[in-house]
Amino acid sequence: MRRGAYLAGAAFAVLALIVASGVTHASVVKQSIPDLIRQADVVVHGRVTDTTSFWQGTTIVTEVTIDVKTTIFGSPGNQVIVTLPGGIVGDIGLEVSDTPEFQRGKESVVFLGNGRNGDFQVLGAVQGKVDVVGGNVPAWNLPLDEFIARVAAGGIGLEEHAAKPPGTPGGGGGGKGDKGDEACYLLCKIDWKRNGEQDNDGIYSPKLEDDQGGNWSINNNSQDWPNDDAALVAELGDSAKVWTDNAGARWSLGALNATVTHDSRLTNASFDGRNVVSFGYTGNAVAVTANWFYRNARKHTIETDFLFNDIDNDFGINVPESNSEFDLKNVAVHEFGHWICLGDQYNDSDFDHVMYGFVEVGETKNWTLHQCDMDGAQAVYGTP
Ligand SMILES: [Zn+2]
């Protein structure tokens, strides 16, 4: 439901927090078409006729209107409204990593779950939007009619037709970010330098400071760590240092505010003047990163937040490979890559990268940067 709470230019206004209804993504679990079908309330082929961004409390969301051309599953009617996190309103923009992009006039097949307000959410992050171009589905190397028939049959026999994984250019969802020349990393569309100045050590860091000092802070509203702030400070501090100490880039997250807050309402990407790691509902993503920017100065990030989704997932420390938990540090290092403004990569060949967009329980590979991750960080912030 649209809310008329426009805050044009009212930077850092603190309002009552409203939980975002949009699905947001960053680290996601890899899902097949049959997986998506099983979760979907509605699957349609349609064309985007409108996109509208607006403030929803202290966050920005975008509603996408899709005219339904073919109903594959469900009873959506002639039109569906899809709500996504992020967008630009007035002078302020919000980009949430790995959220599928919809442009007016473009067609796609979308796998949707019911939202909270009669709207829909895209399932599986970028995996839930499959681009249709000229009557064909490039990601699956099939004519649209045949792709629709196979989806309607439960996705049988699709895998052998996969041409490009979702999230890659031409693949489903359309990867975010601009690829540098022959680079093995992706950049987000905003950024280069944060609004921070070089500090005394010649290191760029976010300029924002908490009211109690520090450049970033932790809000422990987690179900998994209710009484253990110290563990969060240690693990998240270590996660940031993986980049600061090893990327070879002129970037530092700066000082972590040692005072952990416990605001149970901070469950979405909130434009509040603080860089905060928190816990909350993120749709079906394991964690999400939100970068705020000025519309007319897109190479400067104003504020960055990330959220762990511990409603749908369990997080642990030093989890063994057989565990059913996500390793907190493994996920956090990836999300801090988004703070640097690196984009998700989905090719199987990117598996060893921290910025590989899929994550699994028990995985700890992100404790160590890949050379491509270092190259990306250096491309954004330069070398010392
Ligand atoms: Zn990601």
Residue 28: pLDDT above 90?
no
137-155 pLDDT, tens digit per residue, is 998 889 999 999 999 999 8
End-to-end CA distance of the chain: 47
Distance CA 128, CA 125 (A): 6
Domain ranges of the chain: 26-161, 178-381
Q: How far is the CA of 5 from the centre of ligand 1 (A)?
A: 29
In degrees, to the nearest 5, what angle opens at C-alpha 62 toward C-alphas 59 and 67? Answer: 160
Q: How far is the CA of 200 from the centre of ligand 1 (A)?
A: 31
**What percent of the chain has a predicted confidence (pLDDT) above 70?**
79
Q: How far is the CA of 121 from the centre of ligand 1 (A)?
A: 18
Average the pLDDT over 270-283 and give the result: 84
CATH classification number, 178-381, choose in 3.40.390.10, 3.90.920.10, 3.30.565.10, 3.40.50.620? 3.40.390.10
pLDDT grade for 194, boundaries at 50, 70 and 90: low
Q: How far is the CA of 355 from the centre of ligand 1 (A)?
A: 6
Residue 24: pLDDT above 50?
no
Fold annotation for 26-161 = OB fold (Dihydrolipoamide Acetyltransferase, E2P) (2.40.50)
**What percent of the chain has a predicted confidence (pLDDT) above 90?**
45
Q: How far is the CA of 126 from the centre of ligand 1 (A)?
A: 11
Within a 10 A sphere around the Cβ of 31, how many other Cβ atoms? Answer: 20
Q: How far is the CA of 33 from the centre of ligand 1 (A)?
A: 20
Q: How far is the CA of 53 from the centre of ligand 1 (A)?
A: 22
Q: Where are the beta strands (DSSP E) in 97-232?
A: 107-114, 120-122, 129-132, 136-137, 142-143, 178-179, 186-187, 217-218
Domains 26-161 and 178-381 share a fold: no
Q: Which of 382, 377, 384, 334 is nearest to 184 (CA)?
A: 377
